[in-house]
Amino acid sequence: MELANRLGAGDKFAYKNSEEIFNELRVASKGGTANYYGITYEKIEKNMGVFWPCPDLDHPGTPRLWEDKKFPTPDGKAHFNPAPYRDPEEITDEKFPVIMTTGRVVSQYLSGTQTRRIGKLIDQYPEPLLEIHPKLAYQYGIKDRDLIRVVTRRGEAEFPAQLVETIREDTVFIPYHWGGSKSANQLTIGSLDPISKIPEFKVCACKLIPMGRKAPEASEAKAHESI
């Protein structure tokens, strides 16, 4: 609302409380797949939550989608839509032989601008780690907490190694919740999916350069950055 006021459009966002905003969402979603129209604050409080779609006020909500096995298709059946496989935009080669992927860790959320303000969550996962399978780590002589420089065609950054068996042997994983010199997205590729136009952040090619020393503990690294 404050942003709308500054842009001269405050009259279009003249809400008195969050319930009024939710009621606009109810109207806007009416008739859609995620239909909120039958959900009200009072109904949410009374039922300890209501699942969409909920098309009218007398509807109880839909905890499990498609349980009635009726689908909005001409024959009423669900249909698989297979898509032909194609390689990612960037595949591994001799110069960049390792697949890099990014994602979340359980204690952090998206860019981390909210969760990295909370001490207990920071304690759980204070810095981005390079997850690597022990077999791939052995090829490079990498051990836990070794500092590794990850290089792609876009940039490079350094991360402490964490050996885990829950990852593919040809792939490394870096969480993307941190910015600046710890940003995984400075390494990812900006190629777009031809249909959805979503960036192909989840796979690119990289090379690993062990720095020959242990990474400082997260608390030490933070103190160094503040200096």
Evaluate whether residue 85 is within a structural domain.
no
Evaluate whether residue 60 is within a structural domain.
no
pLDDT band at 91 (very low <50, low <70, confident <90, very high): very high
The pLDDT value given to residue 222: 55
Together in a domain, 118 and 203: yes
Evaluate whether residue 68 is within a structural domain.
no
**What's the domain range around 210?**
98-214
Give percent of the chain above pLDDT 90: 82
The pLDDT value given to residue 193: 87
Question: How far apart, in Å, do the first and last CA atoms of the chain sit?
Answer: 38
Tell me the per-residue pLDDT of 180-225, one tens digit each, with 9 for 90 and over: 999 999 999 989 988 889 999 999 999 999 999 999 987 644 544 4
Together in a domain, 20 and 107: no
Strand locations in the chain (E): 98-103, 130-132, 146-151, 156-163, 171-175, 204-214
Rounded CA separation 80/82 (Å): 6
The stretch 86-109 carries a mean pLDDT of: 95
Tell me the per-residue pLDDT of 134-155, one tens digit each, with 9 for 90 and over: 999 999 999 999 999 999 999 9
Residue 14 CB contacts under 8 Å (≥ 6 apart), including other chains? 1
Together in a domain, 120 and 188: yes
Look at the chain and report how many structural domains it folds into.
2
Evaluate whether residue 174 is within a structural domain.
yes
Average pLDDT, the chain: 92
The pLDDT value given to residue 223: 40
Tell me the per-residue pLDDT of 115-129, one tens digit each, with 9 for 90 and over: 999 999 999 999 999
Evaluate whether residue 219 is within a structural domain.
no
